[in-house]
Amino acid sequence: MRNEERYIVLLSGGLDSTVNLKLAAQKGEVLLALTYDYGQMAREREIKSSALICERIGAPHKVVELPFLKDLRKSGIIRGEVPLLKDVEEAGRETMEKVWVPARNLVFISIAVAFAEEMEADAIVCGFNKEEAQTFPDNSPEFVAKFNSLLPYASLKEIKLFSFTQDLEKWEIAKLGWEIEAPLEYCWPCYLGGEEICGKCESCLRFINALKLAGIYELWREKRECLKPFS
């Protein structure tokens, strides 16, 4: 009889999913980390980042291609147009709508359910947080609760969806990640797919702000510069 839970983890290569992967590996067994290629501008960077993170943590990694989502051209992260901001305080409902991908998390997690049942996992772990749940409805506790209510009809196995960081602010996740030695130096938080993170899109600004509030931004920069993970 198993004493530890077995997890399927959704991994984008960003802060929240990286910390959740590390926590899952500490608290149980990670059967698989899933990264999705859906035509987003940063897909190559996200995939490389996720592969490096999984290598460091020792988790199996799989890239799932969803070419049909590339047709959703209203989303700025697929079309190639995202708002560039001066400060994280500018982020809100309006900027969210410009990068929104319809049903993205619903599709991602539904696919993870299939892997979870096939591999006999106990749970699916996502990188959700309290801060972004205020503007992204598919990041919220209500979304998780609704999805869990659907799961008994979608799987023959008892599976749950949750996030270790659901009730944490972004800076708290950064602080926790540093404390548990999650490989934050390999994170790719940017909506764009350049040589380095742009530092101006909403996702970058939230990431950088979190590191600064956690008091680890300069330490993170030094570690990243030494490794040059994307060169």
Residues 119-130: tens digit of each pLDDT: 999 999 999 999
Residue 68 domain flag: yes
Q: How sure is the predictor about 230, in pLDDT bands with cuts at 50, 70 and 90?
A: confident
Spatial contact of 128 and 139, defined as CB atoms under 8 Å apart = yes
214 vs 98, higher pLDDT? 214
| CB proximity list for 145: less than 8 A, separation 6 or greater | none
Residue 1 domain flag: no
Q: Is the pLDDT assigned to residue 1 strictly greater than 60?
A: no
pLDDT digits (tens, 9 = 90+) for 161-177: 999 999 999 999 999 99
Helix (H, G, I), strand (E, B) or coil at 167: coil
Helix (H, G, I), strand (E, B) or coil at 61: strand
Domain of 31, in residue numbers = 6-227
What is the arithmetic mean of pLDDT over 9-16?
98
Give the CA radius of gyration of the chain. 17
Residue 150 domain flag: yes
Spatial contact of 135 and 93, defined as CB atoms under 8 Å apart = yes
Residue 193 domain flag: yes
Spatial contact of 40 and 46, defined as CB atoms under 8 Å apart = yes
Cα–Cα distance between 17 and 184 in angstroms, integer?
Answer: 10
Produce one character per residue of 125-147: b if its CB has 16 or more CB atoms within 10 Å, e if not.
bbbbbbbbbebbebbbeebbeeb
Question: pTM for this one?
Answer: 0.95
What total of structural domains would you count in the chain? 1
**Alpha-helical segments (H) within 30-187:** 43-57, 76-79, 93-99, 104-119, 141-154, 170-179
Classify residue 87 by burial, with Cβ atoms within 10 Å: 0-12, 13-18, 19+.
exposed
- CATH number, domain at 101? 3.40.50.620
| Amino acid type, 78 | I
Residue 133 domain flag: yes
Spatial strand order in the sheet of 123-125: 61-65, 29-37, 6-10, 123-125, 160-162
Furthest-apart CA atoms within the chain: distance in Å: 53
Nearest to 77 by CA among 56, 54, 55, 97: 97
